Amino acid sequence: GDEEDWEARPPVVTVMGHVDHGKTKLLDAVRNSNVVAREAGGITQHIGAYQIVTELEDDERPITFIDTPGHESFTAMRARGAKVTDIVVLVVAADDGVMPQTVEALNHAQAAEVPIVVAVNKIDKEGANPAKIRQQLTEYGLVAEEYGGDTMFVDVSATTRQGIEELETAILLTADASLDLRANTQMDPQGVVIEGKLDKGRGPVATVLVQRGTLRQGDSIVAGDAYGRVRSLLDEHGNKLKEALPARPVQVVGLTSVPRAGDTFLVVEEDRVARQIADRRQARIRNAQNASMRKRISLEDLD
Ligand code: GTP
Ligand code: NA
Ligand code: MG
């Protein structure tokens, strides 16, 4: 495409770390909201995605954040989160230290070759030992800048909001230093499904991240093996959008079924084509399921 079709886009940042180390609360602090209070049992069960606009030194810059659950059972979600992201913010509670899901998250980030910013959280708590966190993480190749390494560590408290601006600054510095964040806004829209759910009133709803092109209301879309016409696009506040640019997470209403997290989506010319692609994908999935069932049955016959 033409050079002018390439535009700067916000960084996509995934927040990862061990269960209850404060990922959601930290995002609440960044967004001035209170998601933690609404979660059942304070446990994140799905991936949330938000775009905020930072105001550092009178410079307004957007950042897209993706929240992930820390619980053991969500390994696949963390792997997917690491893949759609430009930067991982690894949250480690200063009073608890490096734990199994901390290590798993940093492994995903390193495997995906995504730069990591470490947020040492809960520094307001008694027993917080941020130096120990830095020490522990050197074993995994994350050496703090102040120790001669190249990983940015920021001490924060999601409760008192101490260090939040420093964290935003570290994210933007990392984005500017190591990433060329541009996207073509004129190409056919494509992206990835962050989560899908069945809403009682609105039917299938998919939260998608646009990765290139501009997604618009009225577009014919295929997401995994679901298809449909984009009836409405909603931002994280439930506000209607006419279009979504690259790095914008947005809820899509109008699909005929619920796509899965990690599915890719694309926009095609006509509803008919969307349906054909979705049908082909469904057939492929059925064939694969049948094949694996046949294999299982023949293996059982051997026993
Ligand atoms: P999962 O999504 O379930 O993995 O947890 P999480 O990492 O999102 O943690 P969450 O934000 O739910 O916070 C867990 C608990 O720690 C909550 O009770 C928070 O209020 C508390 N918490 C989070 N950050 C801080 C902090 O900076 N200081 C203190 N004192 N408590 C915090
Ligand atoms: Na929690
Ligand atoms: Mg959470």
pLDDT band at 99 (very low <50, low <70, confident <90, very high): very high
pLDDT band at 65 (very low <50, low <70, confident <90, very high): very high
- Can you tell me which atom of ligand 1 is nearest the CA of 158? 27
Q: Which pLDDT tens digit goes with each residue over 135-186?
A: 999 999 999 999 999 999 999 999 999 999 999 999 999 999 988 899 999 9
11 is in an annotated binding site: no
Check if 157 has its Cβ closer than 6 Å to any atom of ligand 1.
yes
pLDDT at 237 over 60: yes
Q: Which pLDDT tens digit goes with each residue over 243-287?
A: 999 999 999 999 999 999 889 999 999 999 999 999 999 998 889
Check if 25 has its Cβ closer than 6 Å to any atom of ligand 1.
yes
Q: Which of 168, 195, 189, 201 is nearest to 59 (CA)?
A: 168
Reduce the secondary structure of 13-74 to three states and give it as a string: EEEEECCCCCHHHHHHHHHCCCCHHHCHHHCCCCCEEEEEEEEECCEEEEEEEEECCCCHHH
Q: What is the ipTM of this complex?
A: 0.99
- Can you tell me which atom of ligand 1 is nearest the CA of 71? 4
pLDDT band at 239 (very low <50, low <70, confident <90, very high): very high
20 is in an annotated binding site: yes
71 alpha carbon, closest ligand: 1
Task: Report phi then psi at 275, rounded to 5.
Answer: -65, -40
pLDDT at 75 over 90: no
Contact between residue 249 and residue 268 where contact means Cβ atoms under 8 Å apart:
no
Check if 69 has its Cβ closer than 6 Å to any atom of ligand 1.
yes
Cα 91 to the chain's mean position, in Å? 15
Check if 212 has its Cβ closer than 6 Å to any atom of ligand 1.
no
Q: Which pLDDT tens digit goes with each residue over 79-92?
A: 888 788 999 999 99
